[in-house]
Amino acid sequence: MAFGRLTWIGFMVVALGWALLLSGASATEILVRYIGHPLVVSANLSAITQATILTGFGLAILGALHTGFGTLKHFFDTVLERTAKGATKAAAAAPAPRVEPKSFIDPKSVLERGLFKDRPYTLFGDGSIEIETSLQDACEFIGF
Whether 26 and 86 share a structural domain: yes
> Per-residue pLDDT for 50 more than 80?
yes
The better pLDDT of the pair 42, 108 is held by 108
pLDDT at 75: 87
Q: How many domains does the chain have?
A: 2
Residue 121: which domain range? 102-142
Q: Mark whether 60 and 129 lie in a shared domain.
A: no
**Same structural domain for residues 89 and 106?**
no
**Percent of the chain residues past pLDDT 70, beyond the cut:** 72
So what's the pLDDT on residue 24?
A: 66
Q: How far apart are CA 42 and CA 32, in angstroms?
A: 9
- Looking at the structure, tell me whether residues 14 and 81 fall in a common domain: yes
> Do 72 and 116 belong together in one domain?
no
Indicate if 39 and 77 belong to the same structural domain: yes
Shared domain check, 84 and 30:
yes
Q: Using the CB atoms, write b or e for 112-135: b if 16+ within 10 Å.
A: eeeebeeeebebbbeeeeeeebee
Residues 6 or more apart whose Cβ sits within 8 Å of residue 2: 67
- The pTM of this model reads 0.47
Do 59 and 17 have their domain in common?
A: yes
Give the residue-averaged pLDDT of 44-65.
87
Above 90 in pLDDT, residue 56?
A: yes
Backbone dihedral region for residue 104 (phi beyond 0: left; psi -120 to 50: alpha; all else: beta): alpha
pLDDT digits (tens, 9 = 90+) for 123-134: 888 888 888 888
Q: Are 33 and 71 found together in one domain? A: yes
| Contact in structure between 20 and 27 (CB atoms under 8 Å) | yes
